[in-house]
Structure 1
């Protein structure tokens, strides 16, 4: 390869994946291109689906669920990186793979992942009465985390400045759409379907209790020792060092950890270091309006 060609491959020059709309929700165009296939995806009754708005504790939950299924055996959870162990059904990165194809090739029982709002979820998941785990995170921390994630992830649009991103997020003009609609849509569906609805803040506050809840939902009875082992292995500091969970195996042309690490802080209340007083007031006013029609409540600090 000529030197100038190698220069062009530098990760900071990798072009961003363009985006388009699916039913009014922004998605990377590779997803839009195969939307019909995604919508027709055939779930199986023993599929377990982990669903979240992006950057709401998805990878953390995946690791916990994997360890519950394997009764705390850490070695089994190191068999492959997260994105290989759990097909991300609507995701497609030409250089990395297609979640839909991965899912189809995977033997049952499968643990799958999605960020889709409930209205865009392939209908077969609800028809087959699949167990679904949904995790919601308070929107201020979620916004901050998503902003930094978009900075480092070339498979998503450039977030622009923090001020610009703040506006995009409030308007729901980010991939996977409005946070407010997402969390409310899944909340409204939880009583009609086989959905366990969890909160990131509860998982931070009392991980053992939430892991126990997850195990019960999945149908596993784990003793105290195994639960403690899972709590330890899925703590932020341990996962941050785990190449099978921290996305460091992806090429830097896709995720550039020198811009911002995939696992950045994993705390509750980091939004206070980003929001100005004026932004916080504006956010609170907007939040009050958009969340007036729901019983859903969030904790913005612990």
Structure 2
């Protein structure tokens, strides 16, 4: 079978996008959120799958092992803006979710989120990851996923990342935009990927036993789990790079040259103006 061409990045209301995330735009914008929905939002490759899995375990772990072994995570926690035939539309999957609460994930920058989530006062969990590790993870993801634009080599990709020429736009705009929303919207938990590595600290004591969740939700266990590792997706060539690659903090040191790191740090100082938003680059 001939490989399909990779999509081209284009400017969509000031944000880099591909048609797989904009073709269903009217249905996305008109999506009817419910008051008990939980929206899981991240920049791509910042821990979305991990947090989705943990929340699914917390809320629905009591349903027994069948749910964990027979329903892929991307069906349990649908990707709202996905429009990639022959896969079902993300909005349709979210509409039909039988669970309460509905767990719904998005990579949209905050200004693109359907208004109904704010009107319904839905709970929001946003996960932010340090820019250097996020860039490395995104690079390897684009290498292996033919449904994404061609990343080029690492130095080309890194420049594009710094300039915000990425699907879902600039990392800086994304993490800062959602941080600003948190200041005016109370039903919001803004957390950091690096904290997940140290401990699953947001595990609520009212739910399933913490140890069971911790054991099941370790990165290595999820990497082996066919329901969470996206091994069923045709566009992803996991021989190039696994969807769940390392799950580490500090892997950027294996990719950035000294010169790239200096250039990145200088650029970061110019673009990261918010003194309250602090990231850990190693643990």
State whether TM-score is above 0.5.
yes
Unaligned runs of 5+ in 1: 1-5
Identify if the C-alpha distance between structure 1 residues 24 and 74 changes in structure 2 by more than 3 Å, giving closer, same or farther: farther
Q: 2:272 aligns with which of 287, 291, 295?
A: 291
How many Å separate the matches in 1 of 2:90 and 2:20?
A: 11
Look up the match of 1:236.
219
Look up the match of 1:155.
147
Alpha-carbon deviation of 1:21? 2.7
Alpha-carbon deviation of 1:72? 5.8
How many Å separate the matches in 1 of 2:20 and 2:154?
A: 26
Kept in 1, the 8 Å contact 2:10–2:18? The answer is yes
Unaligned runs of 5+ in 2: none
Look up the match of 1:93.
84
- Deviates most, 53-62 or 37-46: 37-46
Q: Structure 2 matches for 1:194-213, cutoff 5 A?
A: 194-207=187-200, 209-210=201-202, 212=203
Q: 1:250 aligns with which of 224, 233, 237?
A: 233
Deviation readout 1:152-172 (Å, 9 max, x if unpaired): 111110111101000000000
What TM-score results when the alignment is normalised by the length of structure 1?
0.89
Look up the match of 2:247.
266
How many Å separate the matches in 2 of 1:250 and 1:18?
A: 20
How many Å separate the matches in 2 of 1:27 and 1:105?
A: 26
Q: 1:59 aligns with which of 45, 49, 52?
A: 49
Look up the match of 1:3.
none
Deviation readout 1:53-92 (Å, 9 max, x if unpaired): 0000000001100010024666133331121111111111
How many Å separate the matches in 2 of 1:176 and 1:205?
A: 27
RMSD over aligned CA atoms reads 1.5
Look up the match of 1:137.
129
How many Å separate the matches in 2 of 1:173 and 1:242?
A: 32
How many Å separate the matches in 2 of 1:255 and 1:14?
A: 12
Kept in 2, the 8 Å contact 1:135–1:199? The answer is yes
